[in-house]
Amino acid sequence: MTRSILGLLAAGATALTAYAQPATYTDLGTHTSPEVLSTAVTLTAANNIQWFRIELPANSSTDGWVDIWTLAPGDITDSEIGIYDNAGNIVGGSTALGSDDDSGPGLLSQLSYGQTTPARPANGTGAVRAGQDGTLGGGVYWVAVGHFNVTFGLTGWTVTSAYTGTQRTITLTFDIQPAGSPTNPAGIGAATPNNGVAGASFVATVTVTPGANPPSTGLAVSLDASAVGGGTVALLDDGNPPDAAAGDNIFTGDVTTGGSTAPAAYSLPFAITDAELRTGNGSIAYTVNPTPDWDEALDGGGDAGQTASTAQTVGGSGALNSIAGNLVAGDADVFLINICDPANFSASTNNANTSATDTQLFVFDSNGIGVVMNDDDPAGGLRSRISNAIVGSYPAGNYYLAVSRYDTDPIDASAQEIWLDTPFNVERAPDGAGAANPWDTFNGAATATGSYWIDLTGACFVGGGNPCPCDGDLNGDGLIDITDLALFLSSFGTAAPGIPTPCADINGDGLVDISDLALFLSAFGSTCP
């Protein structure tokens, strides 16, 4: 009997030892009011775990929060954190809910408890803080901080690290909002479209979550668009366009950018106020693109169509170096251009000005018969490039250039696709069931949206003026040289389809003949005035 009692006592002593609170820790005290608290962390050895004792308020999924993260200053680049209750049990009963490795920016750590909506802003590239780890009851908690690789036990404050390197310092931060405390209104902003050239317009939208305790009244939103020349814009929730519905806490307004705004990515701040004298803020991302030679909206007057009858004719004079626009779901944009130098033609969306991640490019002749397409640039990536490999064997003239997102494809009048879907990264002549037929429209399979910028070489404007700077300069480069001679000879004896007067038909009689050749040779080797 005595032996049994002694055995029980020994077992109890062992249990007490296993569940003893951390011997060394920093007591951060009681923090049950709204605040952001930061404290420095210094590991005393490579595998050291630093403990912090703190009393925190209760929160729920709808009210209040406690967010904990690691961030600079400090030299630790790969941290781990865990949180335990005052009995030594990991919060949530699992390492998934009570510890974190990489939810912060980079390889740093973050835990988020409590309110899910509205979310709190992310720290840099980390996850948005939205109560992903559950909720906390009010009381004393113990937070462990170490360098990866850390093992978190489920009970007994058992935390160990296998790190052997030299990084030692980091900063531990708590964002604390007790349940029942007043909260500020918050909002998430967006621009539609989210990019355009200088002088373009967009619709600014801020979706507002009212403040709480007490609920917000008299909400108002103001956008500072002065960085893009748009001034200060009051966003309204009144049901008048561009606002869709009154009283849904989605505030909208039209913004017109200044015509001289420099191309760049901009962050436009907005401010939210309520009648309870609380404020919230955020920003709307908008990119001002370089000005292309042809802009779908500004020069073309709206969305380019996806049939020959609704294509935009890119009218003007001289060389055409770029076309820009936006694709909506199921959209394809078609442009009639002049390929004035087939031997040097190229079209590419593989550039920094294109936000659409997976484009397709197509070329059709003036009768709508397919010439060439490319889905994925042979050099790499999901954007597209067409070279002179196929186009170079065609005569100069007017052609349709189309752009779409994968998998929105041209079809004939019987809904047969002009091209097969594969292979993706090859320039191909028509090879689909409708290969021999003119394209009728596009099948509209893509659901994603995005902007595009088509870089062009060997292309000119169509009609509306002379695309050649002077007689005989067929490729529009300002020189009358051997390249122009090759283009001239390719059209000799024809009615110069697609090469308007006076590019090749210098005397304007409708034919490219010996008279034009004499005029061309007299100007050969010269530059345009």
Q: Are 168 and 248 within one domain? A: no
Q: Which of 511, 482, 481, 486 is nearest to 497 (CA)?
A: 511
Q: Are 84 and 154 within one domain? A: yes
Q: What is the CATH number of the domain that holds 482?
A: 1.10.1330.10
Answer yes or no: is pLDDT of 19 > 60.
Answer: no
3-class SS of residue 96: helix
Q: Where do we find the tokens 């005393």? A: 44
In which band, very low, low, confident or very high, does the pLDDT at 2 lie, cut at 50, 70 and 90?
Answer: very low
Alpha carbons 103 and 79: distance in angstroms, whole number: 10
Q: Are 369 and 441 within one domain? A: yes
Q: What is the CATH number of the domain that holds 316?
A: 2.60.120.380
Query: According to the model, what pLDDT value does residue 390 have?
Result: 97
Contact present, 205 and 190 (Cβ < 8 Å): yes
Alpha carbons 91 and 408: distance in angstroms, whole number: 49
- CA separation, residue 194 to residues 128, 201, 265 (Å): 21, 10, 10
Helix H segments across 197-336? none
Number of structural domains (the chain) is 4
Which residue range(s) make up the domain with 313?
A: 294-457
Among 132, 160, 177, residue at a domain's last position = 177
Q: Are 310 and 425 within one domain? A: yes
Among 457, 489, 510, residue at a domain's last position = 457
Question: pLDDT tens digits, residue range 94-119?
Answer: 999 999 999 999 999 999 999 998 88
Q: Are 256 and 171 within one domain? A: no
In which band, very low, low, confident or very high, does the pLDDT at 525 lie, cut at 50, 70 and 90?
Answer: confident
Q: Are 283 and 307 within one domain? A: no
Question: pLDDT tens digits, residue range 251-300?
Answer: 999 999 998 999 999 999 999 999 999 999 999 999 998 889 999 988 89
Residue 41: inside a domain, yes or no?
Answer: yes
Query: According to the model, what pLDDT value does residue 463 have?
Result: 64
